[in-house]
Structure 1
Amino acid sequence: MMTPMRYVLLVLAIIISLHYILSFSHEGYGKATSFKSIAGQLQLGSGQDPEPPYKTPIPEDYIHPQKEIDPLQRKANATFVVLARNGDLQGVIASMKQMEDRFNKEFEYPWVFLNEEPFSDEFKHRTREITNAPISYGLIPRDNWYQPDFIDEEKAKAAREKMVKNNVIYGGSVPYRNMCRFNSGFFFRHELLQNYRYYWRVEPDVKFFCDIHYDPFLIMEDNNKVYGFTVSLYEYEATIPTLWNAVKEFLEENPGVTPENNAMAFLSDDNGESYNRCHFWSNFEIGDLDFWRNETYMKFFDFLDQKGGFYYERWGDAPVHSIGAALFARKDQIHFFEDIGYRHEPFQHCPQGEAHSRGKCWCDPNDNFDYQWYSCLKRYDALF
């Protein structure tokens, strides 16, 4: 004869079994339901309080309900690109950790590090500690980095000395010029990037303020975008006195290279006669590597390179990339990532309104460069 206690236990066993059957037949339950949680709801066991639900292990294939795109189902052919030296390690880790926490721990896009010298074991070890994503470390070919032989060093030296005298930022630096030239025309040619289509440039000591629960790379791919930015501003005139003349000369020698509906109006207020110095700040950029690899841009860079302005003046990769994107792509192929909070000293983009709360951003929304007097965002807005 069944005792009352055995009867109670039998009934409870039947309830638990039915709960499991119903759980696994109802969308949204099975993988998130455990015996411990059911027991807690029925208050069975030793009399102790049940463990709080946040201690329930989350399955590896659990999808965050806020995620707009499931990264386990689809990813772009993309990578992060970091140009850094061994001495930049702490700044690299700071930037990398924020990127992982805000975005990449959920998506696990690979990282590519480039340096003109071999990376140290310490650099490799400590960066590998930050991510579960694949990492590659590449050496920049000497011809892609150092000042080319066709540059007249006496002329270049005189230009540097003049800039130092006039307090032009990085005016006396040859390594800075090497970097600008490399980013303008060579990074996308590196062997470690040949199998990728999209890249996200990350620099040491930058800040990413907001959670990103969607995939910016897929925004680029699905909408045929070639260049994405967060900050735009005016270039220092003293660094590019002859750049626009070179651009106009290239366009005159190569008619038909600019598509209809390009973004010339972002660059010029007089239909290309002069340059207003607006550019996208390239320390943050998400771009299409194939766009830089295309014949028009490659020819454009080679033309500028032979002019020597990277060394006789101080042409930056930001205006060169910006001019290339604005002239050789359609304006609708350039994208403002307004919901990605970002800071590179001394400027920052802090998302506003719903984008700020949606991304759980920790930047001050009042500290936002978008429409300050030195920003060019209003010129980008006017394109549309």
Structure 2
Amino acid sequence: MRISKGFIKLFFGSLLFCLIAQICWLVLVRHQRQLRLDSYFLERSREASSGYDSSRKRQLNQMLKLSSNTYIDELHDENRRKEFVRENATLLMLVRNWELTGALHSMRSLEDRFNKDYQYDWTFLNDVPFDEEFIEATTAMASGKTQYALIPAEDWNRPSWINETLFEEALQLMEEKNILYGGSKSYRNMCRFNSGFFFRQRILDQYDYYFRVEPNVEYFCDFPYDPFQVMRKNDKKYGFVITMYEYEDTIPSLWEAVEEYLEETESKDVDMENNAFSFISNFDFFGKSFGVMDSNSDYNLCHFWTNFEIGDLNFFRSEKYIRFFEYLDSTGGFYYERWGDAPVHSIAVSLLLKKDEVIHFDELGYKHMPFGTCPSAYYLRLQQRCLCDSNHPDNIDLNVISCLRRWWKDGSGKYFLKHNS
């Protein structure tokens, strides 16, 4: 049977029409599905972007001028100033001129995450005069006032009563043992200064609180509160974010000196019923394991990492702290060994303060090489715009060399609600 050409054209035409119709229908369906997805994701985006508006206080952020890149003139009006009330506090950095790049890095991070809203003063200390470049650059980076002070030589340099022969022998021995900063003279000056003299600087006389900041650190999250207000309202004297074990080779006789101090003062400054002595002396189980660090003394080597610390200056100015420091200093351990300010502060805080006067700021993401801390709660990291991974190996919180679980057990415990400011 012969098929006519007309029938063939009609057949292929119909087939082509069906194919085009099907393609159009698929395109239409895909387009509609894409519209639904766009609508869904747009709604999710709106929900996400507005979910934390109240905590981020976005209603205070005004529109930009169309004519420039500057904010409207009324941005810093009276209502905005009332929103952020400053405490009598300062951000404190001990730093050298050559550390300018690292200082600016730390300042930028803390300004963006916290201080841009409060404009706390920045106070810079140095054992040599600051140069003009350092002053100009840090002033430009700060949202608040900047001030600079030269540390008096008698507060910084090695005391004249230190036996120079023993000192040089100690340096050589620690260098041979590859102890971190074991051969450094300036590092010992810094540790002694941070232990007993930083709070005596006249430029700090006007303040009640300080926030220690070091070059080349990073703050991972927006601060959910003003930590200075938390300190004052909750009667806290000392705050930390990281606690870990100290290198015992740097402090072989420190605990012996502490025990001698307690015996000589008859422990009159110490309240064993309410302090955190157990935090620095217990060696028992915490969690499912023992601590991993052995100690040759009754000190378990736990200490607060002082490159981040927020403290009440009046505690360090107190007679009991000065008695504690001056006794330790009289032994020469800052130079004949290599006592750090971290174990000295930590032992003092654990002995002389009530455990409830010490606070762990567990919402504040932070890093000082090689370790950091990152909030573990997923929605808290979203809310505070954190740029960190709580499961990263550098996150020390639950690492075997961390003393945080020891603090939860023998310190002031673990809090699951944010502190109010």
Shorter chain as denominator, the TM-score bin is: 0.7 to 0.9
Q: What SS does the corresponding residue of 1:160 show, helix, strand or coil?
A: helix
Is 1:264 matched with 2:280? no
Which of 103, 107, 110 is the aligned partner of 1:99?
Answer: 110
Q: 1:268-313: per-residue Cα shift (whole Å, max 9, x none)?
A: 0179x70000000000000000000000000110001110000000
Which residue type is aligned with residue 391 of structure 2? N
CA distance in 1, matches of 2:169, 2:325: 24
Is 1:76 matched with 2:87? yes
* 1:332 aligned residue: 356
CA distance in 2, matches of 1:270, 1:378: 12
Which of 342, 366, 375 is the aligned partner of 1:318?
Answer: 342
Residues 32, 256 of structure 1: alpha-carbon distance in 2 compared, 3 angstrom cutoff: closer
| Matched-pair contact (CA < 8 Å) for 1:229–1:336 | yes
Which of 201, 226, 229 is the aligned partner of 1:218?
Answer: 229
| Matched-pair contact (CA < 8 Å) for 1:93–1:127 | yes
Which of 367, 372, 390 is the aligned partner of 1:365?
Answer: 390
Q: 1:144-182: per-residue Cα shift (whole Å, max 9, x none)?
A: 101100110110111111111011000000000000000
| Matched-pair contact (CA < 8 Å) for 2:365–2:388 | yes
Which residue type is aligned with residue 373 of structure 1? V
> Equivalent residues in 2 for 1:345-360 (5 A)?
345-353=369-377, 354-360=379-385
Flag structure 1 segments of 5+ consecutive residues without an equivalent.
1-29, 37-49
Q: 1:209-229: per-residue Cα shift (whole Å, max 9, x none)?
A: 111142100100111111100
CA distance in 2, matches of 1:360, 1:294: 39
Which residue type is aligned with residue 359 of structure 1? Q
Residues 213, 163 of structure 1: alpha-carbon distance in 2 compared, 3 angstrom cutoff: same
Which of 297, 301, 306 is the aligned partner of 2:330?
Answer: 306
Is 1:275 matched with 2:299? yes
CA distance in 2, matches of 1:349, 1:147: 35
> Equivalent residues in 2 for 1:79-228 (5 A)?
79-228=90-239
* 1:379 aligned residue: 406
Q: What SS does the corresponding residue of 1:363 show, helix, strand or coil?
A: coil
Flag structure 2 segments of 5+ consecutive residues without an equivalent.
1-58, 285-296, 414-421
* Shift, 1:70, TM fit: 2.8
Q: What SS does the corresponding residue of 1:106 show, helix, strand or coil?
A: coil
> Equivalent residues in 2 for 1:244-255 (5 A)?
244-254=255-265, 255=267
Which of 216, 238, 248 is the aligned partner of 1:237?
Answer: 248
* 2:77 aligned residue: 61
CA distance in 2, matches of 1:270, 1:210: 33
CA distance in 2, matches of 1:269, 1:172: 32
| Matched-pair contact (CA < 8 Å) for 2:167–2:335 | yes
Which residue type is aligned with residue 256 of structure 1? K
Q: What SS does the corresponding residue of 1:107 show, helix, strand or coil?
A: coil
Residues 233, 128 of structure 1: alpha-carbon distance in 2 compared, 3 angstrom cutoff: same
Q: 1:84-107: per-residue Cα shift (whole Å, max 9, x none)?
A: 000000000000011111110100
Sequence identity of aligned pairs in percent? 47
Q: What SS does the corresponding residue of 2:128 show, helix, strand or coil?
A: coil
Q: What SS does the corresponding residue of 2:83 show, helix, strand or coil?
A: coil
* Shift, 1:31, TM fit: 9.7
CA distance in 2, matches of 1:295, 1:57: 49
Which residue type is aligned with residue 401 of structure 2? Y
| Matched-pair contact (CA < 8 Å) for 2:115–2:143 | no
* Shift, 1:132, TM fit: 2.7
Residues 63, 309 of structure 1: alpha-carbon distance in 2 compared, 3 angstrom cutoff: same
CA distance in 2, matches of 1:32, 1:229: 31
Which residue type is aligned with residue 214 of structure 2? E
Q: Looking at CA atoms only, which structure, 1 or 2, has the larger radius of gyration?
A: 2
* Shift, 1:352, TM fit: 1.5
* 1:10 aligned residue: none
Q: Which moved more, 1:349-358 or 1:209-218?
A: 349-358
Q: What SS does the corresponding residue of 2:117 show, helix, strand or coil?
A: helix
Residues 301, 56 of structure 1: alpha-carbon distance in 2 compared, 3 angstrom cutoff: closer
* Shift, 1:372, TM fit: 0.3
| Matched-pair contact (CA < 8 Å) for 1:209–1:361 | yes
Which residue type is aligned with residue 406 of structure 2? R
| Matched-pair contact (CA < 8 Å) for 1:185–1:298 | yes
Which residue type is aligned with residue 116 of structure 1? D
* 2:20 aligned residue: none
Q: 1:316-357: per-residue Cα shift (whole Å, max 9, x none)?
A: 000000001110000011100001110000000111213322
Which residue type is aligned with residue 281 of structure 2? S
CA distance in 2, matches of 1:185, 1:31: 42
Residues 359, 63 of structure 1: alpha-carbon distance in 2 compared, 3 angstrom cutoff: farther
Residues 32, 236 of structure 1: alpha-carbon distance in 2 compared, 3 angstrom cutoff: closer
* Shift, 1:59, TM fit: 2.8
Question: What value does the CA root-mean-square deviation take over the aligned residues?
Answer: 2.6
| Matched-pair contact (CA < 8 Å) for 1:32–1:58 | no
Alignment length (residue pairs): 334
Q: TM-score, normalised by structure 2?
A: 0.75
